[in-house]
Structures are given as structure tokens and as C-alpha cells.
Amino acid sequence: MEDFPAMKAWNLICAISLVAGLATASAADTNTNSLSTAPPTNEVAVIDTTEGEMVVAFWPEAAPNTVANFKKLAERGFYDGTCFHRIIKGFMVQGGDPLTKMPAAKNVWGTGGPGYSINAEFNDHSHQLGVLSMARSSDPNSAGSQFFICDGDASLLDHQYTAFGHLIKGGDVLQKIADTPVGPSPSGENSAPLKRVGVISIKIVPATALK
């Protein structure tokens, strides 16, 4: 697994904050706290991708509104047909931007969202391999739909980004996605996948339904 020196890690934090976490940049700059607090649940998210299937368990006790928001969007089919638009091997893979459904809009991938934002729920879950967290802009309360899955130790993001789940199946799929060749993004960051890594669907199902 690739290590990131302190300065490089800090640059990546800035990049995640200012480039790819702009979940509401092209939408109304509206914040909502109207989501009901989700009780602990045994539901999981099945992320079906062009590289295979991953399964995520949630941490509703640590980030109830974030979990509720992700589930709501998934149940509406919001994520279906999107792709992982930002990949930094050893650090994270990022998706959840509805603009990635439009290949012609590649220059603005990373700026889309659901049209609203939710408040941060920073917690003590560390950003380690397989952890699911919300991308955002420089405003802590600007997350919307974009998420990332850590592909290594990203603990420098702790208490700055909302971790709300972790991978329980499909670690090999995460590695396939992380191994995708990349080139320069519109911002010049070497993180734009050279082939499309699609999200076919994200389904919320009972954990007991897993095979």
C-alpha cells in the first residue's frame, strides 16, 4: 500500500476539500437538517459496480443524519448510473456525483450534488482502509451526495470529514477500482480514471439478505 508523506497527505486533504468534495457547487446552496434521526439498523448498502460488488455497513450511532441521507438517495436511485470520478490509489476512491451520468460534462465532474447540503457529523471513527465518508467543500456543512471509500490510512481526515460506514465485503473490488489507470483531471490532479468505473446501482437491503 502506498504511503503518503505529511505534505503530500495535506495536499490531498486540500484537494478533497476544494476540488472533489464540492457536492453542492452546481446546486442551490441550501442546508437541511430535516432528516429524521435514523435508529440503529441492520441494513447495509450493496454497491454494484462495473468492477464487482461491495457491501457497506453503516454507523448510524455516529452519523445518523448522514446515514439517513445516503439511504434516502440510494433508495431513490440517485446513485444509479454514476461513476467513480476521482481515484487516488492508496488514499481513496470517490463517487456520488450525479453529473457523472453525463459523459459530456466531464469538465465539471466533482461539482454536482442533490441540490441541498447536510451538516457535518464528525466522529471518532478513523479514516482507515474501507471506511465510507462524505466529501465536502471547504465549508464543513456542505456535504450532499458525494462520498469516498478509503483505500488506505487516511487518518489525517479524522474529525474533518464525516465517516459513516465501512466495507464488510468486496475489498478485492475496492482494490480493482483503486488500481484503475488515471490521468490529469481538469484541475491538474492525477486522479481522473482513464476508463469509466461505473456504479450500476446502490441498494439498501437487510444484512440478513446477504448471501
pTM: 0.84
Helix (H) or strand (E) holding 64: helix 64-75
CA distance 96 to 47: 11
CA distance 51 to 198: 8
Q: Closest Cα partner for 82 from 66, 95, 65, 68? A: 95
Using one digit for the tens of pLDDT, what is the confidence trace for 123-157? 999 999 999 999 999 999 999 999 999 999 999 99
Residue 71: is its pLDDT beyond 50? Answer: yes
**Contact 65/35 with Cβ under 8 angstroms?**
yes
Can you give the pLDDT at residue 41? 60
Domain ranges for the chain: 6-30+48-206
Q: What is the CATH number of domain 6-30+48-206?
A: 2.40.100.10
